[in-house]
């Protein structure tokens, strides 16, 4: 496709509810919630105040039951309960790694499942959330990329992952969480399943809710969106979300990047770098994270490291080296530790931070790019159970 062709969305976001059913308030922007309340009979002059009250119950207190919203009149609460719901994705399974990493499999409307990973660290905790079921892109080293895309997540399903994790971590004030302690869930990375910039509006609305000062209150500096390089949406991300940006760079020549990250054929390295150059200024963020997966003999030479430095010159950057997480049937091997260290060293000496990402939750297949197998295994075993029990269909 030509580089300037418009982005086509291969998938549609399904409506959150059938029009005649109750509307889920989770995931609505303040404006959308206001409109919904007015459509449901809330007088226009009260609507803004009602949004403020309901918003705080949902996002600050973690309340899911209208009856508990005690600053609203009883009759109004009953009205709300008839027309609206406060619903989160359903947690199907929860696994805890020996290193404390937690992986949740959550079910969303239509019976689809996505994975959410919580990674506890010293003084902070990062939640890795998904933006799509599967991914339309087909990066050759990524397990999610081999999964057939099913659909985009709604804003409610995206911010719902954060709320589900807060439930499990006991982080709502109603669960007795202390107010001023370091938060267990202090950071969000959009590095789970899917390409967030192919689901821009829903990701934006969800992150705006996560950042809202009267709710979950995560600073935009604590939210990192990772993209494979959807160039036309990068400026919009700076303007409309303003979060930190990570880019799946992974190669230093177009020839290699075309193979690893095929979206490079649409927007090549030069175009990507151009878009990245203006990001920090527009978003008022400090630096861009360049993600670089270390693949044995493919992109890990000293020459690659030096080329990388030349390419990113002038961009405030940190290079995050990711040891390849192998999955069954993967066409690559992880670079040796010595190779990764040598690569990191060259970059570090050129003046860039070059942390090597420690794979977390490997025992529960929770590491980057592995989000698929467990789901598929679970599916398979359920299918097997059905077959064994003589159930079909």
Which residues would be at the binding site for ligand SF4 (CB under 6 A)?
135, 137-139, 142, 144-145, 194-195, 228, 248
> Which residue's Cβ has the minimum distance to ligand SF4?
145
CA 93 to mean position of chain CA atoms: 19
Task: Please tell me the distance from the alpha carbon of residue 289 to that of residue 300, in angstroms, as a whole number.
Answer: 18
Phi and psi torsions of 290, nearest 5°: -95, 115
Between 169 and 260, name the residue whose CB sits nearer to ligand SF4.
260
Q: Report how far residue 88's alpha carbon sits from residue 64's, in angstroms, rounded to the nearest whole number.
A: 9
In the bound state with ligand SF4, the residue whose beta carbon lies nearer, of 195 and 304, is 195
Q: How many CA atoms lie within 13 A of 172 on its CB side?
A: 19
Report, in Å, the least distance between residue 40 CB and ligand SAH.
37
Q: 368, 322 in Cβ contact below 8 A?
A: yes
Q: How is 57-69 classified by DSSP, letter by letter?
A: IIIIS----GGG-
Residues of this chain that bind ligand SAH (CB under 6 A)? 139, 141-143, 191, 194-195, 226-228, 248, 291, 293, 322, 324-325, 368-369
Residue 224 pairs in a beta bridge with: 189, 244
- 140 contacts which partner out of ligand SF4, ligand SAH, none, CB within 5 to 8 A by kind? none
CB of 113 to ligand SAH, least distance (A): 17
322 binds, among ligand SF4, ligand SAH, none (CB under 5 to 8 A by kind): ligand SAH
How far apart (Å, rounded) are the C-alpha atoms in residues 220 and 241? 8
285 interface partner picked from ligand SAH, ligand SF4, none, CB below 5 to 8 A per type: none
Shortest Å distance, C-beta 383 to ligand SAH: 25
What is the C-alpha to C-alpha distance for residues 113 and 90, in angstroms, rounded to an integer?
Answer: 9
114 or 139: CB nearest ligand SF4 = 139
When the beta carbons of 129 and 216 are compared against ligand SF4, the nearer one is 129
Residue 293's binding partner among ligand SF4, ligand SAH, none (Cβ under 5 to 8 angstroms by kind) is ligand SAH
Task: Catalogue the active-site residues.
Answer: 115, 368
User: 202: how many CB neighbours lie within 10 A of its CB?
Assistant: 21
Q: Which two tokens stand for residue 88?
A: 């989160």
Question: Would you say the C-alpha torsion 137, 295, 332, 359 has a positive or negative sign?
Answer: negative
Using alpha carbons, select from 87, 149, 146 the residue that is nearest to residue 112: 149
Binding site partner of 324, from ligand SF4, ligand SAH, none, Cβ cut-off 5-8 A by kind: ligand SAH
Residue 334: CB minimum distance to ligand SF4, A: 16
Q: Which residue is nearest to ligand SAH (CB)?
A: 369
Cβ-based nearer residue to ligand SF4, 312 or 371: 371
């Amino acid at each position: 496709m030509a580089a300037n062709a418009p982005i086509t969305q291969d998938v549609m976001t399904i409506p959150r509810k059938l029009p005649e059913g109750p509307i889920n308030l989770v995931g609505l922007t303040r404006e959308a919630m206001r409109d919904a309340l007015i459509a449901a009979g809330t007088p226009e002059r009260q609507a803004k105040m009602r949004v403020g009250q309901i918003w705080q119950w949902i996002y600050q207190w973690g309340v899911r039951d209208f009856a508990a919203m005690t600053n609203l009149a009883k009759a109004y609460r009953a009205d709300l309960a008839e027309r609206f719901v406060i619903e989160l994705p359903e947690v199907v399974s929860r696994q805890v790694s020996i290193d404390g990493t937690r992986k949740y499999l959550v079910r969303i409307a239509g019976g689809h499942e996505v994975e959410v990973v919580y990674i506890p660290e010293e003084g902070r905790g990062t939640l890795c959330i998904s933006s799509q079921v599967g991914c339309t892109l087909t990066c050759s080293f990524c397990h999610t990329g081999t999964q057939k895309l099913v659909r985009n997540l709604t804003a409610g399903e995206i911010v719902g992952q954060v709320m589900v994790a807060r439930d499990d971590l006991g982080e709502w004030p109603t669960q007795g969480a202390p107010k001023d302690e370091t938060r267990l869930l202090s950071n969000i990375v959009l590095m789970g399943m899917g390409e967030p910039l192919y689901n821009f509006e829903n990701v934006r609305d969800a992150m705006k809710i996560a950042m809202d000062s009267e709710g979950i209150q995560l600073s935009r500096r604590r939210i990192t969106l990772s993209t494979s390089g959807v160039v036309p949406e990068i400026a919009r991300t700076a303007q409309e979300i303003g979060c930190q940006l990570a880019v799946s760079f992974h190669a230093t020549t177009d020839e290699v990047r075309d193979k690893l990250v095929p979206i490079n054929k649409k927007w090549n390295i030069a175009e990507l770098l151009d878009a990245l150059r203006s990001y920090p200024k527009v978003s008022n963020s400090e630096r861009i994270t360049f993600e670089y997966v270390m693949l044995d003999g493919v992109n890990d030479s000293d020459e690659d490291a030096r080329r990388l430095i030349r390419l990113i010159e002038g961009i405030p950057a940190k290079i995050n080296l990711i040891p390849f997480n192998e999955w069954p049937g993967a066409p690559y091997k992880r670079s040796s530790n010595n190779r990764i260290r040598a690569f990191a060293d060259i970059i570090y000496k050129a003046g860039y931070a070059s942390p090597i990402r420690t794979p977390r939750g490997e025992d529960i297949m929770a590491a980057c790019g592995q989000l698929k197998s467990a789901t598929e295994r679970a599916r398979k075993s359920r299918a097997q159970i059905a077959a064994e029990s003589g159930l079909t269909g």
